């Protein structure tokens, strides 16, 4: 899965980084792996797409399905925030599409923001400094 993540319990946030080729299946796997754990209910989320080299272009329907799955996994009694850092145009546009679908889903309790920089995302998340980011693995053959 080209998503590495870290759960920072003391800050109540899940921090994830995408890298390499990013697909809807990767997002779905990440959502299920992380957000089905009861100890992260109500946590904020930061997803950094800076190191994604390619986004496997999904359909608008697939983005809607991913937003629906995410909204279904939200903890209704614990509103939280979800910041997506997407400096590239395609990732930014897909993030905004996800944001619109997520906000339209009545089950969603996360406020979603899509940003071009980490600094903008930190302001949205009310963080004065970045939480410990997960590492980005070295490309195959480059150690």
Residue 110 located in a structural domain: yes
Q: Does position 143 have pLDDT exceeding 60, yes or no?
A: no
Residue 97 located in a structural domain: yes
The pLDDT, as a whole number, for residue 62 is 87
Largest CA distance in the chain: 46
Give the DSSP H/E element, type plus range, for residue 19: strand 13-22
Residue 31 located in a structural domain: yes
Residue 46 located in a structural domain: yes
Structure confidence by residue, pLDDT tens digits, 1-27: 589 999 999 999 999 999 988 888 888
| CATH number of the structural domain spanning residue 106 | 3.30.750.24
Q: Which of 12-16, 71-75, 113-117 has the lowest mean pLDDT?
A: 71-75
- Domain extent at residue 23: 3-124
The band of 141, judged by pLDDT with boundaries at 50, 70 and 90, is: low
Q: Are strands 13-22 and 3-8 parallel, antiparallel or unpaired?
A: antiparallel
Number of domains in the chain: 1
Please check whether residue 78 is in contact with residue 46, taking contact to mean a CB–CB distance below 8 angstroms. Answer: no
Please check whether residue 120 is in contact with residue 87, taking contact to mean a CB–CB distance below 8 angstroms. Answer: no
Structure confidence by residue, pLDDT tens digits, 85-114: 999 998 899 999 999 999 999 999 999 999
Which distant-in-sequence residues (6+ apart) come within 8 Å of 123 by Cβ? Answer: none
């Amino acid at each position: 899965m080209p998503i590495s993540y870290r759960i920072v319990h003391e800050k109540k946030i899940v921090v994830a980084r995408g890298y390499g080729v990013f697909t809807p299946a990767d997002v779905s796997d990440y959502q299920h792996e992380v957000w089905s754990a009861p100890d992260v209910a109500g946590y904020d989320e930061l997803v950094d797409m800076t190191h994604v080299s390619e986004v496997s272009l999904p359909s608008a329907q697939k983005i809607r399905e991913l937003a629906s799955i995410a909204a279904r996994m939200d903890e209704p009694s614990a509103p939280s925030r979800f910041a997506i850092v997407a400096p590239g145009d395609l990732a930014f546009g897909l993030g905004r599409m996800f944001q619109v679908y997520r906000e339209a889903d009545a089950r969603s309790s996360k406020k979603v923001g899509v940003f071009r920089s980490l600094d903008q995302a930190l302001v949205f998340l009310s963080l004065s400094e970045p939480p410990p980011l997960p590492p980005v693995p070295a490309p195959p053959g480059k150690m």
